[in-house]
Structure 1
Amino acid sequence: MTEAAGRPPAFRVVDLIVAEGPEGAERILIAGLTVGVAAGEIVAVLADGRAPAEALVGVLAGRRRAQYGSIAVSGSARRRHVGPAVPAGLSVVRPGQWLPGIGARPAVVVDAVHPEPRAGDTVASSARGAARAGSAVLLVTDDPETAAVADRVVHLNRPPQPPTRPEPPAEAERFSAEALTAAVLGSLTSAGVAPQRAALVSRVLVDADLRGHFSHGVGLLPMYLDRLARGGIDLAAEPEWISRDSVVAVLDARGGFGQVAADAAAEHCARRATEHGIAAVAVRGNNHIGMLAAYRDHFVRHGVVGLVLNISGPSVAAPGAGRPTLGNDAVCMVVPRAEGRPLVVDFATGTVASGKIRHAAHRGEPVPPTWLVDRQGRPTTDPEELDRGGAVPVFGGHKGLGVAVITEVLAGILAGGTVSPLVHKQRAEPDRAMDCSQLFLALSPSAFGDPPVDELLRVLSAAVADGYPQGAPRVHLPEQQEESAEAAAREHGIPVPARVVESLGWTADRTATAVGGAR
């Protein structure tokens, strides 16, 4: 940010990031504000709404915590602003609250978001009075007319526009599930994939989009096709059973499509659990298998509880670390119900699945600052940083790291004889199989005396809902978000970023028109 010509800043805000909301679903209020103000200068920060303006004032006044950033006042120490604190030499005032001796302060913030007008003491006179007294004045407002009194105006959350930035986000194309499946199938078979195998991969990708998990959906198809062309996915590979005579089986995927080995493992595991009460299948030498919940039908059909664990290449940083040294591993549990949809719990060990960040990059959108750190370990809202050496923080601090280690031991060390730091990253090494691994577990309720699964799940669900004094929010249990996403997709079509559609060369004559206007 340019300061007043020839004058060093007396007051600086650097890389300030503020967000609100639950972890993994945050709303960004301030996306990296940097501004400097010289002594005697008035700089207005014009917010794009009241909430961001209030957030900025709250942080500057020490009433609110910021996720990242620092504040420096001339003559006082620069501090990282991770908790409420007000640097020495800084005052926050409202018009009408003029403080004695304000001219002795190196920096003054005029809070024009919550004015307390008093005759003869308007926003303009408050700001100009402090500037005449030699203070560096930062005027915070969401009103363009109020901001006009300043020497300079800085627009909060308006990103810089260097020439290397991608174009503004394009509108998504919308497809029905059937049309999107047909389009994916056509692209895969055109690349030489056998129809039956292409149908499986298409189903898994479209299922993820249908459930709102775009990180694992059709947006992956261009990468899959590139890996096919370069040899990272072996077109003709047939999974090979190393052993399958006991309750524990081992399947070598041999570097083919990950979905092929995963589907075979899920079916075998679920069926064997109905015979023995419990079963496990280890899959090694595999590639990306997509959304783990995509294999739920095998467990549901056989009436067994399923647990799937997966390790992947390094993209996650340990608590407080900056470099990606762990896989964004995944865990999924499937609990069939006698009536209705199964309970599905499916999550990554990173704060968010890496694919969600890439989906935001496809759409040209920022991400919440808790989703990603750059190569220096600093929170960032730029999704492109993920492929520049950035990392996804592990979820839940050291407890989340514990879940990741459990997954590494079960799905990595036991199932595959490997760990995520040894797995090849599919984007960085498109010519090599990932050599990742999965563990599929299944348990039959009948082996445990046929407990009343449905009834106890209802008790559990009611207990969760009863914990909200004002009534449970719409989404308060696993699977509810997916049900809502699927209903919307069925009605309005599945959105696929135009950038992805263009890269695949899809045109209107390659996709069937669907009811409701979706392709």
Structure 2
Amino acid sequence: MTEAVGREPVLRVADLIVAEGPEGSERILIPGLSVTVAAGEIVAVLADDPASSAALVDVFTGARRAQYGEIAVGAGRPRRVAPARPAGVAVVRPGQPGPAGRIPAVTVVDATGVRPGADAGPAAEAARTAARRGSAVLLVTAEAGAAEAADRVVHPNRPPRPAPVAEPAVRFGTAALTEAAIGSLTEAGVGADRAALVARVLVDADVRGHFSHGVGLLPMYLDRLGKGGIDPVAEPEWISQEGPVAVLDARGGFGQVAAELAAADCARRAAENGMAAVAIRGNNHIGMLAAYREHFTRHGVVGLVLNISGPSVAAPGAGRPTLGNDAVCMVVPRAEQRPLVVDFATGTVASGKIRHAAHRGEPVPATWLVDRQGKPTTDPEELDRGGAVPVFGGHKGLGVAVITEVLAGILAGGTVSPLVHKQRGEPERSMDCSQLFLGLSPAAFGNPPVDELLGVLSSAITAGYPHGAPAVHLPEQQEELAEARARDHGVPVPAAVVEQLGWTADRALATAGDAR
């Protein structure tokens, strides 16, 4: 049973989701049906249970509204499913006469009443009759016997998952990658200084091995620039700078511009006064939080940066993304070593790491993502189909997320992550997210021996491994290894991203299959 070749689809159903029950505890009946049907073709939708098949028929009769999805009939444009029968569709039941007169573009054969072991002949005959008349036929049933009359069978409860094919990566030297990123931004009308800042932050993430926050974001940034979600010339405006707390309005510009200004101001004032806080509101994506570490290091100030983002994280046991994949970063300067940096998302993993896997055509660990039913999945595409990243650490992780929401959301921005606009889903709007930068000077605390005590802490952690500590057992060690790989072998960028950006091969070092 194969898809009709060379025939224009008459019916297009895209990512149809149907649920029942109260919001927050819905039962998903159709988790994302996508199907096309050509004239004269019979496609059976074989559901796992009668309730799911009946729900799909109800959508086509107008008796039920789908939660999400689009339907197009004929040459019409896809449209959100409304509580009305789509035009050009007739619903027939086995044993009943079909519609007289004009042949419908689409015939939905309601075979939901066919029970196991029952005669499926009437359902098959109704489907064949409609197909002979030139109608595109959708045969909806939960009984496999009724589906045997179809040219193709799709399973709405088990959407197909293509086998992942890993894409090669194109490797760049750090300087060449930065130059290429600056070029893409300036070509889009971004001023030279701002382009250099944004490129620095993105490339820094790639060099440190956090590809989720690297130049793979550039195509999205450019899309948002073109559609108005990022104002390339917006100047951040200080709302207040009195006392230990300052508030900065980013005014919908590049997130990196306001974040750089906030980090510099926070670190300087903390060094002068012992502590300082800078809140940013009305902002866009600021990239990897650790990218602003140099300001705290230069002033010898411990920095704490918190950020909220749009909903992509599910609470423990939940399947719907209702919380932001918020982020927390601490920077601790050390006299003789590079700073200690702890940078993590409140989700099990940063959402961008899942999209990076999607760029490369690779599966993700089942612990990284749940689908719309709350079930673990390895398909990275599920993130943008309504899936969610689980919050890390169960209810304790949820507690960290709530702390971040209070500090970086409610206090800093007068908002919370459910109110933040998702940068991919609403490219024409500023995210309107917020951040909080905190600075604490060790001098104000009596100059404790920070380096010495961190050494004690490090030794204690190492001693806990009876057979020797693994190569990565402390924060920042993974980044050190990534920086060494980038220095020796270049920075990998997914080939799909390089193609999207139109970068020429003469800037690259090599093409390789391993982008890690």
**Fold conserved between structures, TM > 0.5:** yes
For the residue of structure 1 that corresponds to 2:425, the secondary structure is coil
Q: Which amino acid letter does the alignment assign opposite residue 367 of structure 1?
A: V
Q: 1:480 aligns with which of 458, 477, 481?
A: 477
Counterpart Cα distance in 2 of 1:495 and 1:431: 30
Aligned to 1:290: 287
Pair 1:411-2:411 in alignment:
no
The aligned counterpart of 2:486 is: 489
Q: Aligned partners of 1:476, 1:510: CA distance in 2, in Å? A: 35
- What are the within-5 Å matches in structure 2 for residues 163-178 of structure 1? 165=162, 168-178=165-175
Equivalent position of 2:128 in the other structure: none
Amino acid paired to 1:474: A
Contact 1:182 1:511 in 2 (8 A): no
Report what 1:215 is aligned to: 212
CA contact (8 A) 1:183 1:511 kept: no
Closer/same/farther in 2, CA of residues 407 and 490 from structure 1, 3 Å limit: same
1:218-262 CA distance string (max 9 Å, x none): 100000000000000011100000011221000000000000000
Amino acid at match of 1:505: G
1:45 paired residue number: none
Distance in 1 between residues matched to 2:500 and 2:454, nearest whole Å: 44
Contact 1:420 1:436 in 2 (8 A): yes
Kindly state the Cα deviation for residue 308 of structure 1 after the two structures are TM-superposed: 0.1
Which position in structure 1 is the counterpart of 2:68? Answer: none
Amino acid at match of 2:460: A
Q: Which residue of 2 aligns with 1:380?
A: 377
SS at the partner of 1:316? strand
Residue identity over aligned pairs, in percent, reads: 82
Give the AA of the match of 2:338: R
- Give the direction of change, closer, same or farther, for the CA distance of 1:239–1:511 in structure 2 (3 Å limit): farther
Pick from 327, 332, 340 the counterpart of residue 343 of structure 1.
Answer: 340
- Alignment of 1:468 onto 2:465: yes
Superposition pairs for residues 295-314 of structure 1, below 5 Å?
A: 295-314=292-311
Determine if contact 2:171/2:508 at 8 Å carries over to the other structure. no
Q: C-alpha offsets along residues 71-110 of structure 1, whole Å, 9 cap, x if unaligned?
A: xxxxxxxxxxxxxxxxxxxxxxxxxxxxxxxxxxxxxxxx
**Conserved 8 A contact 1:350-1:395:** yes
**Distance in 2, Cα, partners of 1:356 & 1:321:** 21
- RMSD between superposed Cα atoms in Å: 1.7
Query: 1:216 touches 1:290 (CA, 8 Å); kept in 2?
Result: yes
Q: Which amino acid aligns with 1:356?
A: K
Q: Which amino acid aligns with 1:332?
A: C
2:221 corresponds, among 214, 220, 224, to 224
**Structure 2 residue 321 is the aligned partner of structure 1 residue 324:** yes
State the AA in 2 paired with 1:290: G
Q: Which among 431, 435, 458 is matched to residue 438 of structure 1?
A: 435
Q: 1:481 to 1:167 in 2, by over 3 A?
A: closer
TM-score where L is the length of structure 2: 0.67
Q: CA deviation at 1:168?
A: 2.2
Matched to 2:165, the amino acid is P
Question: CA deviation digits over 1:374-423, x for unaligned, max 9?
Answer: 01111000000000000000000000000000000000000000000000
**Corresponding residue for 1:508?**
505
Does the 8 A contact of 1:315 with 1:391 survive in 2? Answer: yes
Change in CA separation of 1:245 and 1:511 when aligned onto 2, cut-off 3 Å: farther
Q: CA deviation at 1:509?
A: 4.3
The residue matched to 2:280 in structure 1 has which SS? Answer: strand
Measured in 1, the distance between the counterparts of 2:225 and 2:163 equals 27
Matching residue's letter, 2:391: V
Which whole-Å deviations, capped at 9, do the CAs of 1:43-82 have from their partners, x for residues lacking one? Answer: xxxxxxxxxxxxxxxxxxxxxxxxxxxxxxxxxxxxxxxx
Q: Secondary structure at the match of 2:329?
A: strand
Report if aligned partners of 2:332, 2:341 keep a CA contact under 8 Å in 1. Answer: yes
1:269 equivalent to 2:266? Answer: yes
Find 1:369's aligned residue among 366, 371, 374: 366
How far apart, CA to CA, are the structure 1 residues paired with 2:510 and 2:346? 38
Secondary structure at 2:466 match in 1:
coil
Instruction: Give, in whole Å, the separation in 2 of the partners of 1:342 and 1:235.
Output: 32
**Number of the residue aligned with 2:191:** 194
- Partners in 2 of 1:163 and 1:413 — Cα distance? 41
Alignment correspondent of 1:182: 179
2:394 to 387, 393, 397: 397
Q: Partner letter of residue 206 of structure 1?
A: V
Secondary structure class of the residue paired with 1:193 = coil
Letter matched to residue 451 of structure 2:
D
Letter in 2 for 1:296: R
Whole-Å separation in 2 of the counterparts to 1:484 and 1:263: 26
Looking at structure 2, the residues matched to 207 and 465 of structure 1 have their Cα atoms a distance apart, in angstroms, of 28
> Which amino acid in the other structure matches residue 201 of structure 2?
V
After the TM superposition, which residues 242-257 of structure 1 pair with which residues of structure 2 at under 5 Å, given as runs? 242-257=239-254
CA 1:513/1:172 → structure 2, altered by over 3 Å: closer, same or farther?
Answer: closer
Would you say 1:456 and 2:453 are equivalent positions? yes
- In structure 2, give the amino acid aligned to 1:482: E
Distance 1:466 1:166 in 2: 43
TM superposition shift of 1:163 = 9.2
Tell me if the contact between 1:317 and 1:326 (Cα under 8 Å) persists in the aligned partners: yes
Counterparts in 2 of 1:364 and 1:513: CA distance versus 1, 3 Å? closer
Match of 1:201, SS state, is helix
Q: CA–CA distance in 2 between the matches of 1:249 and 1:512? A: 44
Shift of 1:340: 1.4
Structure 1 residue 167: deviation in Å?
7.1
Q: Is the 8 A contact 2:252 2:283 kept in 1?
A: yes
Q: Is residue 327–residue 421 contact of structure 1 (8 Å, CA) maintained in 2?
A: yes
Which one-letter code corresponds to 2:170 in the other structure? E
Gaps of 5+ in 2: 1-158
Q: Take 1:454 and 1:351, find their aligned partners in 2: how far apart are those partners?
A: 30
Deviation at 1:511, TM superposition (A): 6.0
Deviation, structure 1 residue 200: 0.4
Deviations 1:270-291, CA, capped at 9 Å, x for gaps: 0000111000000000000000
**TM-score w.r.t. length of structure 1:** 0.67
Which letter maps to 1:402? G
Residue aligned with 1:451, SS: coil
| Mapped partners of 1:459, 1:338: distance in 2 | 15
